Structure 1
Amino acid sequence: MKTGLIVDSACDIPHEFSKEHGLFVLPVTAHIDDQTYTDTHDPKLTQEFYEQGLLEKGHHAETEPFSAEQIHNLFMEQIVDHYDVAICETVTRARSKIYENASVAMNTVLAEYRRKRDAAGETGNFSMRVVDSKQIFAGQGLLAAHTIRLMQQNLDKNALRHEIETFADKIYGVVIPRDLHYIRERARRRGDNSVSGLVAFLGKALNITPVIFGKGAEGKPVTKTRGFEPAVEKVMNYAVARVEAGLLTPYVSLSCGMSWDEIEALPGLQRLRDACRAHGVELLLSQMGITSTIYIGPGSLCLALAAEPHEFSDFQ
């Protein structure tokens, strides 16, 4: 039984890791000013976006999920005759319609796949599941990496789905937004008033950077600093201490909406690398993709790991 893993463009994971394990990326459409792009996690295109400043303020940027019809066509063309079982993990359904559209597409694919498999000489049945990752960005990357480990255990499809869904509830995420005004404007256009104008004003006027922590995509500010680098230090301290205390899967996922030179200069990054190496943990370090950068803003940082219940303050 050949099992394939599908993630969407909001999933931040190193390109080399994705390529090595054959992840299929469900694209997202990005509208920037008067141009339209298809985000397939092409690292060259992503780097060009950063170099050209297309994700900076002053550019009107929005994302749009592929329609159910578009997803159906992709699955029929590139999935049903390549795999016997396909798992599609989407960004949290609370933040996007990708899960909904992929679920609709799955149902139509399951009703029509036979003719495509017959034409390709594949006589066996095909099955598919769409899973709400309950995560964003680096959290999706962590779940994808753990899912690959589960796939290597040759679990049956029902056990695999159960393990994935159970594990998703054990992922903790930390986000450092670089610009609260950017997030407020993006949220306002989506009809989300959770980031008030006053908070955005204070963040800008006083150079306050919040650290947002929680399970999956449900986080709240747990501390704040004067400036970005002290906030990064706190997140690195947390990650190092949590790695030393033990994790539920041997991965830490870290994505950053900045150039590679800026990523390498992050305070505490080498300490995190050293801690991961010492404890047999792989650091999944990636440049934040186009989709996730549009959502949370350039210069932001997102870290995810899986562990027993805890608070951010427990590891400071």
Structure 2
Amino acid sequence: MNVKIIADSACDLPYSFLKEKNILFLPLMIHLDENDYEDFVTIEPKQVYDAMRNGKVPKTSQANPLKIKELFTKLAEENVPSIYIAFSSQLSGTYQTAMMIRNEVLEQYPDFQLTIIDSKCASLGLGLIVKKAIELAEQNIPYSQLVDMISTYCAHMEHIFTVDDLEFLARGGRLSKTSAFVGGLLNIKPLLHVEDGKLIPIEKIRGRKKVYKRMLELMEERGEDLQNQIIGISHGDDEQAALELKALIEEHFGCKHFFITEIGGAIGAHAGPGTLALFFLNKQMEQ
């Protein structure tokens, strides 16, 4: 592979997978109990969820600019063509910071090929794109074509998810207070999606079974050739819910290819325990 793929921890791919595939990694930061942690590296997602269940409010921040500069400079010195697929610019400042640092590095190394893609995706929606980017890069596709293909995948990735409490998203600024429209009514589950990189509420539904049913309906409305895709499911420390949703998708659509993972601490600190998210393409991509 003659192109390096860079991801940040908002992709929610397991850290072991990132290392196995030699994906260069920029962890977002988590502040908890007066300590700073690197997402997935020095703090596990469950630690974040357990803290939230105990009433603590973890804070997050973008990837460390010094680490971004260090990574980009190293790649530039080695003159390795690279592509950084970044967490949505609507949800984090990491993309803007990376662009600024890229420009600084290019002043010193003008021949360095580094493209930063604003994925406008999050969690395993971003993760599936990173996973596909590695597969494409291994095919030695020309650099400009590879960038175009990854950007196209980003544009067609659907995110449908539910959270136990929208207050977590509103508190962290990932959702406007006016959009956090669900009150404290018992067993009301908000359903949201990502539109142009932003979190947008769709509707509110009473009860988990009805949430599952509506997620399948939206999947049927928006998806294309679902049986031949990898379907992504991520969860906020609720693997049982992820497996229940997987079984329903298998039964309803005949899908056989799944990637299930836990939502990392950086996104989980805003979405909260019990979050369940579904990812798929709304258009079949050419390989």
**Aligned residue in 2 for 1:8:** 8
Identity of aligned residues (%): 23
Residue 242 of structure 1, CA deviation? 7.0
Give me the whole-angstrom Cα distance separating, in 2, the residues matched to 1:144 and 1:211: 25
- The Cα RMSD (Å) is 3.2
> Which of 198, 208, 217 is residue 188 of structure 2 equivalent to?
208
Q: Hey, what does 1:137 align to over in structure 2?
A: 123
One-letter amino acid matched to 1:106: R
Distance verdict in 2 for CA 1:152–1:144, change over 3 Å: same
* Aligned partners of 2:10 and 2:122 also within 8 Å: yes
- Write the letter of the residue equivalent to 1:89: I
Alignment of 1:67-78 (within 5 A): 67-77=64-74
Note the C-alpha offset of 1:50.
5.4
1:46 match: 44
- Structure 2 counterpart of 1:68, one-letter code: P
Deviation per CA, 1:61-120: give whole Å up to 9, x if none.
Answer: 11111343331013334x446672111011111111100111122222334459xxxxxx
**Cα distance in 2 between the residues matched to 1:30 and 1:292:** 10
AA at the equivalent of 1:267: E
Gapped regions of structure 1 (runs ≥ 5): 115-124, 310-316
Distance in 2 between the 1:82 and 1:298 partners?
42
Amino acid at match of 2:258: L
Secondary structure in 1 matching 2:68: helix
Please give the alpha-carbon distance, in whole angstroms, between the structure 1 residues aligned to 2:196 and 2:11. 13
Residue 151 of structure 1 corresponds to: 137
Counterpart-to-counterpart distance in 1, 2:45 and 2:69: 29
Please tell me whether the aligned partners of residues 250 and 282 of structure 1 are also in contact (alpha carbons under 8 angstroms). yes
1:100 is aligned, of 96, 101, 104, to: 96
Question: What amino acid maps onto 1:256 in structure 2?
Answer: H
Other-structure match for 1:22 = 22
Between Structure 1 and Structure 2, whose CA radius of gyration is higher? 1
Aligned length in residues:
284
Residues 198-239 of structure 1: CA deviation (Å, up to 9, x unaligned) = x24x2x124311211354634544443213343134325654
SS at match of 1:95: coil
Q: Summarize the Cα distance change of 1:84–1:173 in structure 2 as closer, same or farther, 3 Å threshold.
A: same
Gaps of 5+ in 2: none
Find the residue that maps to 2:167 and give its secondary structure: helix
- Per the TM alignment, residue 36 of structure 1 is displaced from its structure 2 partner at its CA by 1.3
TM score, norm. by length of structure 2: 0.84
Q: CA deviation at 1:10?
A: 1.0
Partner of 1:254: 233
> Are the counterparts in 2 of residues 27 and 38 from structure 1 also a CA contact under 8 Å?
yes
Match 1:91 to one of 87, 90, 103: 87
Compared with structure 1, are the counterparts of its residues 219 and 96 closer, same or farther at alpha carbon in structure 2 (3 Å cutoff)? closer
Q: Which residue of 2 aligns with 1:160?
A: 146
